[in-house]
Amino acid sequence: MSEAEHRKVLMSQMQFLGQMLSTETALFHQAAAAKLGLGITDMKMVSTLLQEGPMTAGQLSQRLNLTTGAVSNVIDRLEQRNFVKRAPDAKDRRKVIVTANKEKLAPSDNIYRSMGDAFERLLETYTTKELEFLVRYNQATIELTMLESAKLTKLYKKAGSVTEGDE
């Protein structure tokens, strides 16, 4: 097999593996959410708040591509379960800032701990150079996915579709 043919096979394999990884990741998050008695949209809101910090309901609506009504319902559910807290915005009292309740999310039975430990063991098998490559690859993949998501959102909003999530 020539170098060009081998490269084409590897690129095809990467596409397939990326799709498989996406599916398995979504299924894992769905199972993790269910274990906590949450829906996947609820879990993604908590994850977003943990990763990106406190946000207003409007910011969450934009970030998760949900209607403001859907976001309000998710916040209500999460607040009832003590996963998030609402607080008035110090700069604009008409707004509310939503924050993840890290104390509630940090118990010893954390459902993500096993996955984190498994990935740590996997990453320990790579050299520093390989890890640097993987960091670059994942950063580029995240940026590309965010750009493609924004394009889809723009297309569907233009067509009049609205995403409600799994309320």
Each residue of 113-161: pLDDT tens digit? 889 999 999 999 999 999 999 999 999 999 999 999 889 888 777 766 5
Q: Are residues 64 and 139 in the same domain?
A: yes
For the chain, the first-to-last Cα distance in angstroms comes to: 51
| pLDDT per position as a tens digit, 67-109 | 989 999 999 999 999 999 999 888 888 888 999 998 887 665 6
Question: Which residues pair with residue 97 across a beta bridge?
Answer: 56, 87
pLDDT confidence band for 30 (50 / 70 / 90) = very high
Q: Are strands 84-88 and 96-100 parallel, antiparallel or unpaired?
A: antiparallel
Give the range of the structural domain holding residue 27, as residue numbers without chain letter: 1-35
- Same domain, yes or no: 25 and 69: no
Confidence tier at 167 by pLDDT (50, 70, 90): very low
Give the whole-angstrom CA distance, residue 128 versus residue 118: 18
pLDDT for 160: 65
Residue 136 sits in the same domain as residue 70: yes
21, 76: one domain: no
Looking at the structure, tell me whether residues 5 and 65 fall in a common domain: no
What pTM does this model have? 0.76
How high is the pLDDT of residue 136? 98
Count of domains forming the chain: 2
